[in-house]
């Protein structure tokens, strides 16, 4: 009966991730499969129901209040630790801004033990998952529960060799966003004003000032936002070079800003 249910679920939600989550499910006798199906039919994300999501090389604990790590974001980690098309990257002092479950920074740290990681997150609920995942993955990093722009005011400039961020970047008016995402995932992790670009634009100057010379800011954005971001960065006074990366689907997905030596 369990096997039939799993087969049906895999048919409906067929993906590598679903399979892995289901593998985890077999160890969880407390979850009633009937109840899971009922919640799925109501539109709740499978990852929230089972409390786990797979990202890159590890499983992350997730639940309401924290963004479910996305496959789209794996290309950033892949670029840092494997591809290095825009590298090399100095990962001695890394900052993950808007860390959520912790997936970006933690995956880098898992691969590069030399890295000293600080993860910053302002949402209370997301932060509790950040702590949980840090413990579960046996990671040593500094976790900061604060608004980035407030925290930034207390920091020294030229501190970080590498900054990674996946900020909220969806336009409030976006009509294409799935109902499941809109209804279940935290609005504060998804949406940003000014056509979805407020967070990136508000964070840009502080982030650049935190970078060491030759330091990198790698940032995810929405696949329609490249042209607007390009003009925004051209309007800044320079002092950096910019490259653009794509996700697995070939869509513009992230930029790599390298600060020039002064
Ligand atoms: C798109 S989610 C990304 C989460 C995670 N990095 C990932 O890739 O799955 C953006 C995250 O930024 C956090 N965030 C939004 N505004 C912030 C701020 N001003 N300071 C710190 N974190 C913020 C949100 O709570 C959310 O967890």
pLDDT tens for 39-65 read 888 999 989 988 999 999 999 999 999
Query: Cα of 122 to ligand 1 centre, how many Å?
Result: 7
pLDDT tens for 104-128 read 999 999 999 889 999 999 999 999 9
Using CB atoms within 10 A of its CB, is residue 210 exposed (0-12), middle (13-18) or buried (19+)? buried
36 or 18: which leads in pLDDT: 36
Among the atoms of ligand 1, which is closest to the Cα of residue 96?
6
Nearest C-alpha to atom 24 of ligand 1 is from which residue? 189
For residue 68, give both structure tokens. 């479910």
Instruction: State mean pLDDT over 143-169.
Output: 97
Task: Name 212's Cβ contacts closer than 8 Å, sequence gap at least 6.
Answer: 90, 93, 158, 159, 160, 161, 259
Among 4-13, 92-101, 106-115, which stretch is predicted with the lowest mean pLDDT? 4-13
Task: Tell whether the model's pLDDT for residue 249 goes beyond 90.
Answer: yes
Q: Is the CB of 225 under 6 A from ligand 1?
A: no
Using CB atoms within 10 A of its CB, is residue 4 exposed (0-12), middle (13-18) or buried (19+)? exposed
Average pLDDT, the chain: 91
The dihedral built from the CA positions of residue 202, 221, 75 and 214, taken in this order, carries a sign that is negative
Q: Do 68 and 53 form a contact (C-beta atoms < 8 A)?
A: yes
| Ordered domains of the chain (ranges, CATH) | 2-61 (no CATH), 71-259 (3.40.50.150)
Task: Tell whether the model's pLDDT for residue 147 goes beyond 80.
Answer: yes
pLDDT tens for 167-223 read 999 999 999 999 899 999 999 999 999 999 999 999 999 999 999 999 999 999 999
Query: Cα of 82 to ligand 1 centre, how many Å?
Result: 24
Q: Is the CB of 105 under 6 A from ligand 1?
A: no
Instruction: State mean pLDDT over 65-80.
Output: 97
């Amino acid at each position: 009966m369990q096997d039939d249910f799993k087969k049906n679920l895999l048919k409906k939600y067929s993906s590598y991730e679903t399979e892995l989550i289901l593998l985890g499910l077999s160890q969880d006798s407390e979850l009633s499969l009937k109840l899971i199906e009922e919640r799925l039919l109501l539109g709740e994300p499978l990852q929230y129901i089972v409390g786990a999501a797979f990202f890159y090389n590890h499983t992350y604990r997730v639940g309401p209040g924290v963004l479910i790590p996305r496959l789209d974001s794996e290309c950033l980690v892949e670029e840092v630790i494997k591809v290095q098309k825009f590298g090399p990257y100095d990962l001695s002092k890394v900052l993950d801004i808007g860390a959520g479950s912790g997936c970006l920074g933690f995956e880098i740290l898992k691969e590069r033990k030399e890295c000293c990681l600080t993860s910053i997150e302002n949402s209370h609920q997301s932060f509790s998952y950040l702590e949980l995942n840090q413990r579960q993955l046996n990671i040593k990093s500094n976790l900061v529960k604060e608004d980035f722009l407030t925290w930034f005011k207390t920091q020294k400039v030229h501190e970080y060799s590498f900054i990674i961020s996946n900020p909220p970047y969806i336009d409030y008016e976006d009509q294409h966003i799935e109902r499941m995402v809109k209804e279940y995932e935290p609005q504060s992790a998804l949406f940003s004003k000014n056509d979805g670009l407020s967070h990136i634009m508000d964070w840009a100057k502080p982030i650049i000032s935190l970078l060491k010379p030759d330091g990198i800011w790698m940032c995810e954005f929405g696949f329609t936002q490249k042209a607007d971001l390009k003009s925004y960065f051209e309007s800044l006074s320079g002092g950096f070079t910019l490259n653009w990366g794509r996700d697995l689907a070939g869509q513009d997905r992230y930029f790599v800003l390298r600060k020039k030596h002064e």
